[in-house]
Structure formats: C-alpha cells, structure tokens
Amino acid sequence: MSRFAPPTTQVLKKFESHGDVLRRASGWSRSKVVPIHGLGANVGAVGGIVLEIVLTFSLVFVVYATAVDPKKGSIGIVAPLAIGFTVLVNHFIGVPYTGASMNPARSFGPAFATWDSTNHWIYWVGPLIGGALAGVVYEEVFLTPKTGHTPISDEF
C-alpha cells in the first residue's frame, strides 16, 4: 500500500531520530535546551491528540498530493512550496496549543535531552494516527483505480 520502500523509510526515521538526539544531547546546545513541545494552557491530552492528528493529516495529505501521486505529472517546484507552506500554516495554528510536532522524531530529541517526557506520548499517538489516516484516505480515494460496478449475480 505504501509508495515508499519500508527499509528506506525505517533507515530514514532512524537517522532522523538519532541525529536529533545527538544534536540535542551534545554539549553544543545542552545549556540552552528548551522543551519545544508541550500542551498549552487549557489544552487537555485529548485536545492535543486531536490537534496533532489534524496537523499531521494535513501535512501528509499534501505530501501525497504533490510529491507521491504518480498522476500529478511534472509540477516541479510546487511540491516543496506546498509542503513548506503547509508546515508554516500548521505551525501558526498549532504552536500555541501543542507545539505543532507533526513528527514523533522531532519531539523525541528535545524530550530526551531535557529528560522531560511529560505528555510525550501525545506526540507519538497523534502524528502516527494522522499520518496513517492521511495515507489511507489518499490511497483509497485518489490513488485507487476506479472500476465499474460489478454485479453480484446475473439476475440484477
């Protein structure tokens, strides 16, 4: 179902997670580490998860629509601009409430460096659900070949 090779995806995620941990844990930025993800005032765990689901869904959906879909043709520079603009808008919306993670690896590094895992699970559950939903919706609605109606029996 995925358009990305599973081994490649796993390797990239490991590099991303390890790189963020090493950067955050190094002496270079240890004294200035500030947790970048946390729930805002009056935002509960359920609200945080829902917002992270929506933010991640929108990002992954745009990635599918502009970079993954083979039917898109040659749109050149539009894909990175659309993806970047989506990240920008998602940050404007989400930073005051959850920090707008949209990526578990992006939340893991700061949590590891500060040894603060308060509500850290939200930044795994929300993006994983949002990304999975976006992938399934795009695959099933836009990438699945349209077939005609197949009758169950010859009587109808």
* Domain 6-30+42-141 homologous superfamily, CATH: Glycerol uptake facilitator protein. (1.20.1080.10)
- Ordered by start, the domain boundaries in the chain are 6-30+42-141
77-100 exposure pattern, b = at least 16 Cβ within 10 A, e = fewer: eebeebbeebbeebeeebeebbbb
Mean pLDDT of 130-151: 80
Question: What is the C-alpha to C-alpha distance for residues 126 and 133, in angstroms, rounded to an integer?
Answer: 11
User: Mean pLDDT for the chain?
Assistant: 79
Q: What is the pLDDT of residue 143?
A: 80
How confident is residue 15, by pLDDT bands cut at 50, 70 and 90? low
Mean pLDDT of 66-71: 81
Q: Is 104 exposed, middle or buried (0-12, 13-18, 19+ CB in 10 A)?
A: buried
Helix axes 45-63, 122-138, angle to 10 degrees: 40
Query: Are the C-beta atoms of residues 63 and 75 closer than 8 Å to each other?
Result: no
Most confident of 79-83, 107-111, 144-148: 79-83
| Higher-scoring residue by pLDDT: 126, 18 | 126
Q: Is-above-0.75 flag for pTM?
A: no
pLDDT tens for 110-126 read 778 778 778 889 989 99
Which two tokens mark 79? 């894909």
Helix boundaries (H) for the chain: 6-25, 45-63, 78-94, 104-114, 122-138
